[in-house]
Amino acid sequence: MCVGLDTDITKIPTHLLSTEDPVFEFNKAIIDATHDQAVAYKINTAFYEAQGIQGWVSLQKTLEYIPEGIFTIADAKRGDIGNTSEQYARTFFHTYPFDSVTVAPYMGEDSVKPFLKFEDKWSIVLGLTSNAGSADFQLQSSGGELMYQRVLRTVASWGTPGNIMFVIGATRKEQLQEVRAMLPEHFFLVPGVGAQGGDVHTVCQSAFTKDAGLLINVSRGIIFAGNDEHFAEKANEEAINYQKQMEIFF
């Protein structure tokens, strides 16, 4: 399980708002409550960037607080011309030493390659996403195949299963088995479980293998399970619940 730290300051318990760094205090409590169930944490950078300098401070403190050995994801969805992507890669692999970063492949190979140059780091490329608007492009025909199929096949050729993962939305139930057949050796980051309507059983049954597994992300369903002084306890309960749903597939 991957816990998404999409920490919206307008949704955290009000008693934390009087602290010096409410976002970090919230994240710290969530990490303390869930790290025994989580193999990864995904920090959605938009919720931190929106807070300006203080947001970046909260992000750095959160990243440093995550226990050693737990996989870290910068959910930044970057992708630009080569020299700009080089700076994005340096941002999230050097300045902020994440293990991985989400990458948008729309601008092509030269926008993704700079991320792949960092050893022991992962690029998690947007493949088939959960949002309704994904149908505008991803499900359109392109050269005899759907656009997302072309993206997955092409991007996979730029790297290896050892440095590329793909974002595959949990709500895309009808495509999960097909995508797994296309990419039998790659790991998938699977958002969309919980608040967006995806379910653990369908995802695991369709795409989990013993050699190339899944990082099933749950964000709001865990971190905002409670909204009072007991919010961390509620997060722990939900994390345990999701983990138990996954255990039967291990």
The domain spans of the chain are 1-69+219-250, 73-170
Q: Which residues contact 119 (CB under 8 A, 6 or more apart)?
A: none
Mean pLDDT is lowest, of 50-64, 80-94, 191-205, for 191-205
pTM: 0.95
Q: Is residue 145 pLDDT above 80, yes or no? A: yes
Is the CA virtual torsion 118, 121, 127, 129 positive or negative?
negative
Strand pairing category for 141-142 and 122-128: unpaired
Q: Are the CB atoms for 1 and 240 separated by under 8 Å?
A: no
Q: How many helices (H) and strands (E) does the chain have?
A: 10, 10
To the question of domain 73-170 being in CATH 3.40.50.1820, the answer is: no
Q: In angstroms, what CA-CA distances link 174 with 147, 191, 234? A: 16, 15, 32
The pLDDT tens digits of the residues spanning 93-122 come to: 999 999 999 999 999 999 999 999 999 999
Q: In angstroms, what CA-CA distances link 185 with 29, 114, 128, 164, 228? A: 35, 22, 17, 10, 42
Q: Which residues contact 93 (CB under 8 A, 6 or more apart)?
A: 101, 115, 118, 121
What's the chain's average pLDDT? 94
Q: Is residue 250 pLDDT above 80, yes or no? A: no
Active site residue 117: no
Per-position DSSP letters for 116-129, written without gaps between them? HTSTT-EEEEEEE-
Euclidean distance between the first and final Cα of the chain, in Å? Answer: 12
For residue 193, the one-letter residue type is: V
Q: Which of 11, 28, 42, 77 is catalytic?
A: 77
